[in-house]
Amino acid sequence: MTGPDRTAPHALTLVALAGVAALSMNVFLPSLPGMARDFDVDYAVMQLSVSAYIGASAVLQLLGGPVSDRFGRRPVALAGLGIFVLATLGTLLAPDATSFLVFRLIQAAVSVCMLLSRAAVRDIYEGEKAASMIGYVTMGMAVVPMVAPVIGGILDEAFGWRANFAMMGLLGVGTLILVWRDMGETVRDGGLPMRDQVRNYPILARSHRFWGYCLAATLSSGSFFAYLGGAPFVGEHVFHLSPAQVGYFFAAPATGYLIGNFLSGRYTVRIGLNRMVLIGAVICLVALSLSLALLLLGVVRPVIFFGAIAFMGLGNGLVMPNTNVGMMSVRPELAGTASGLGGALAVAGGAALSALAGALLTPGAGATPLLVIMCASASGALLAILWVLHRERQLARVG
């Protein structure tokens, strides 16, 4: 499992690895309207720092998975963190919106750390036990996006938006040192050669289970990514919240996600992977549909909107660990590839939904377009896991 001079990474190292990637995605979100004013550009342009970043993350995860299956999790993690630190320095020194967005895209190199933390767990554990451990690891990781926007809003008001990126850089350096010292290699036998990977790709491509789990993960997380793209606008223009207040409310989905991850870690082995995904998808859809219905009835309250988002986070906390293990279990030796492909689809879909939310949210539109997008995405996730369950019942009857 590990080299003679290395040990498998501690769970806290995997939490830090995924946490710094999650932090880079949302810590500065309360600052977006102010950043647009500072660079003298429209909000939609600055919102590209979210949607374009997510799109770049999709491409990098797609490439990072196979590379980590071949060369190992450790070197890919170190490379991703190193590039992230240098790009963060570039965002701090950027004189205009264009150069800022270029360095922001390069920052997306850290996104490979998310797939590596999941793949490392799958290297060590199997089946429901892997889902349980991923639930616990992502439970710890959920604390980061829960508190990051709160801190980001406070830093923005005290020192300006660049303080958020300074914090990213410092945490990136700290995580790089931690990974260098603690993260041993978990890929067995020196990795799987690219030729063998390519030969096994059709097995993934033909698997209904793999694509069902991918769609469930993509569409469930799509609701969250749409929220990331639209919530800063809704917070300022619909609910008239300050950046710090928007940061406080951004804790809602992360709090729900934290609880969902804990429940996944505790009950997946007992309840089963597919049932946990189904329960999570239902929770997401019901919570968002109720919020949309109340909004259409004229009940416009931030506590209702963000309360529904908290339950959406809880549902995602049940869906994501279990769908990730479902994807990686089709071909365990391609765990990195499966995790990368699944992650790429999730963030690519998220980028599209985030950009769509940014485009549709104009002054006077209210929060309705955002909630419609999120409800549609949650509905698709529920249909995807029902398809997986249907296919498995068909196979059971044939068997």
Strands (E), the chain: none
The CB-side HSE value for 350 (13 A sphere, CA atoms) comes to 30
In angstroms, the CA 67 to CA 344 distance is 14
* Domain, as residue range, for 194: 11-398
pLDDT of residue 3: 41
> Which residue would you say has higher pLDDT here, 138 or 11?
11
Give the integer Cα–Cα distance in Å for 194 and 69: 8
Q: pTM of whole model > 0.95?
A: no
- Domain membership of residue 366 (yes or no) is yes
State the pLDDT confidence band at 156, using cuts at 50, 70 and 90: confident
Query: What's the average model confidence in pLDDT over 345-349?
Result: 75
Distance of CA 230 to the CA centre of its chain: 16
pLDDT (tens digit, 9 = 90+) per residue, 381-397?
Answer: 999 999 999 888 887 77
> Does position 300 have pLDDT exceeding 80, yes or no?
no
- The pLDDT tens digits of the residues spanning 169-225 come to 999 999 999 999 888 887 766 566 666 666 666 777 778 888 899 899 889 888 888
5 located within any domain: no
What is the number of structural domains in the chain? 1
Question: Does residue 58 fall inside a structural domain?
Answer: yes
Q: Please indicate, yes or no, if residue 286 is contained in any of the structural domains.
A: yes
From CA 158, how far away is CA 274, in angstroms rounded?
Answer: 46
Is 4 a member of any domain? Answer: no
- CB atoms under 10 Å from CB of 319, counted, come to 31
Q: In this model, does residue 137 exceed pLDDT 90? A: no
CB 241 within 8 Å of CB 377: no
Please state, rounded to an integer, the average pLDDT across all residues of the chain: 82
Residue 72 has a pLDDT of 83
User: What Rg do the C-alpha atoms of the chain give, in angstroms?
Assistant: 20
**CATH code, domain with 221:** 1.20.1250.20
Q: Is residue 306 part of a domain?
A: yes
Asked if residues 191 and 69 have their Cβ atoms less than 8 Å apart, the reply is yes
Highest-pLDDT range among 41-50, 283-292, 324-333: 283-292
Q: How large is the average pLDDT for residues 360-384?
A: 86
Determine, yes or no, domain membership for 2: no
The DSSP string of 106-134 is: HHGGGGHHHHHHHHHHHHH--HHHHHHHH
Whether residue 43 lies inside any domain: the answer is yes
Residue 303 pLDDT greater than 70, yes or no: yes
